[in-house]
Amino acid sequence: MFSETIELRGHIIDSLILPKVLDQILTHGANFKITEINIGRKRADQSFARIEVSAETGEALDELILRLRQQGAEVVERAISKRSCASMARKSKCALQ
């Protein structure tokens, strides 16, 4: 499983950015976990969400992240599960630490 952490900032609730991003993730067969969220209390306050997005392949994740960036997402961190890394190591694409 491949994953990246993304962040959304701004008026992500009233502009429907957050629901659009979550819909894109699910539509593309990926998973998400909201690890942090701060919702502004007043109309002028901005909101923030940190979301871990995971997909079965690196290619699927890359394609999805490209779409999420079009919605305003910023990539914070990329991770590869040990299972995926072990599988890739056999193909000489990933170095196990």
**Residue 93 clears pLDDT 80, i.e. is over it:** no
Q: What percent of the chain has pLDDT over 70?
A: 80
Averaged confidence pLDDT in the chain: 87
pTM: 0.80
Alpha-carbon distance 11 to 48, whole Å?
A: 8
In angstroms, the CA 46 to CA 35 distance is: 18
Domain residue spans in the chain? Answer: 2-90
- The answer to whether residue 95 scores a pLDDT higher than 60 is no
Could you read off the pLDDT of 52-92 as tens digits, one per residue? 999 999 999 999 999 999 999 999 977 665 445 544 544 44
Q: Could you confirm whether domain 2-90 is CATH 3.30.70.2690? A: yes
- Tokens 């997402």 label which residue? 73
Of 77 and 40, the structure prediction assigns the larger pLDDT to 40
